[in-house]
Amino acid sequence: MVTDVPKMEMNLAEMENGQTAEFRGGFRHKLQELDCDVNVEATLTVMEGSYLIEAETSCLLSGCCDRCLNPVEERVHGTVEILLRRTAAEENGEQDESLPAVSPEQEVSYDIFPRVLQFLLLEIPQKIICSTDCQGLCPLCGKNLNEGECQCEEQEGDPRWEPLKKLMNDQ
């Protein structure tokens, strides 16, 4: 859920070729069960036939370690580049179909938030762990193995898998 998100809109219609505009902002967001403090610094450059938006993003992720459930924070950095085709270029016959077009309504106010959010979702690691040598929790008693050994006895395993183990040992 997004809270306190500033409008990350840039007015493209008032810009002329070679002109640049800057945007700075931050917001809190919840990404995949993680709290995230996002900071964005973006620059819009108007070029002939297109707009280039370059955004530096950083995000401080706060959540739980996927192995031991201890609190953990991790910082994610990156650069987002958005290249958009100007509608004025289409009128002159200069079309690059590989670029998304900006409609006249969007030129008045183009919101970069969805692109920044999409980038952040791709940059989040699949597993967030407190350290590379985190041993996690005991599957039987749930004790944090980083704090010491548990008193559980090691189990033999499910006897239904014995025929498969015999097949693997024969090879």
The Cα-based distances of 38 to 43, 71, 115 in angstroms read 17, 19, 13
| Cα dihedral 127, 132, 134, 140 in deg (nearest 10) | 50
The tens-digit pLDDT sequence of the chain (171 residues) is 444 555 666 666 666 777 777 777 777 777 667 788 888 888 888 887 778 888 888 888 888 999 999 999 988 888 888 888 766 544 544 555 555 566 555 556 677 777 777 887 788 888 889 999 999 999 888 899 999 998 887 777 788 988 888 888 776
Burial class (CB in 10 A: 0-12, 13-18, 19+), 110: buried
Decide: pTM greater than 0.75: no
Give the Cα separation of 163 and 155 in Å (integer).
18
State the chain's maximal CA–CA distance in angstroms.
Answer: 77
Output the pLDDT for position 8: 65
